[in-house]
Amino acid sequence: MKRTTFTLALLLSLGYASQAQQAAQPGLETTVTKFTTSHSMAEVQQTANDFERLSLSDKSAWLPAYYASLVNTLMAFSEKDPAKKDALLDKADQFYQQAAKLQPKNEEIEVLHANIANARIKVDPEKRWEKYGEIVESSLNKAQKINPNNPRVTLLKAQNLFYTPKEYGGGPAKAMPVLEASLAQFGTFKPASALHPSWGEDQAKKMLLACQNATK
């Protein structure tokens, strides 16, 4: 089954602000800024290395581990070689586990888990759909229970509907109201700090436009 795909354009349009979260995490602000201003996969890879280094140097901070996992996941979506995809996702899962231990009830971590599972499905949809599809659904349901107003939770639910065939209850018409709900949530969402996750609004707008065009 066709699933969400992330391109380099998406990698470079996550929309993070570049202000320091806290003095205890030197280098995080700089690395986030480098990530959001990258212009090639080589530069994105370098920021992944930097996030990994920051995470390994301070295992008490969850944001570096979150970003290390996120960037490896996004690169996996763009990678065409299945073995390389899985290698990136193995690394993403390693840092996800680290972040999850520090933030066991955080909806952003559950969204991250769902994204990793979506990327695993993309490697071999027929063989992996059942196993990882359950992880996607479970993670997003957990995230929604933690914070039903988080726009990224709603966005991923909409994306899953968008890429699910109509005969299985999905499609653009089903995704459209969920995307509209996500955009409404983005309108009032305020991250805990300038470096906490705030991505997704641009993706929601683009997908809503795609839904509108598909249902004309």
**Per-residue pLDDT tens digits for 119-164:** 999 999 999 999 999 999 999 999 999 999 999 999 999 999 998 9
**Residue 32 pLDDT:** 86
Task: Give the mean pLDDT of 67-90.
Answer: 95
Choose the weakest-confidence range: 11-15, 18-22, 56-60, 171-175: 18-22
As given in the structure block, the two tokens for residue 165 are: 């065939």
**Residue 19 pLDDT:** 36
What is the reported pTM? Answer: 0.87
**Per-residue pLDDT tens digits for 8-54:** 345 444 444 333 334 346 689 889 888 888 888 899 899 999 999 99
CA distances from 193 to 21, 62, 160, 163, 201 (A): 6, 13, 28, 32, 17
Question: Residues 6 or more apart from 195 whose CB is under 8 A from it?
Answer: 16, 17, 19, 20, 21, 28, 29, 32, 63
What percentage of residues in the chain have a pLDDT greater than 90? 72
Rounded distance between C-alpha atoms, residue 211 and residue 183, angstroms: 14
Angle CA 120–162–135, to nearest 5: 35
**Residue 72 pLDDT:** 96
Task: Give the mean pLDDT of 176-193.
Answer: 95
Give the H or E element holding residue 76. Answer: helix 62-78
What percentage of residues in the chain have a pLDDT greater than 70? 88
DSSP characters for 105-135?
T-HHHHHHHHHHHHHHHHHSHHHHHHHHHHH
**Residue 12 pLDDT:** 41
Q: What structural domains and CATH numbers belong to the chain?
A: 8-214 (1.25.40.10)
pLDDT at 2 over 90: no
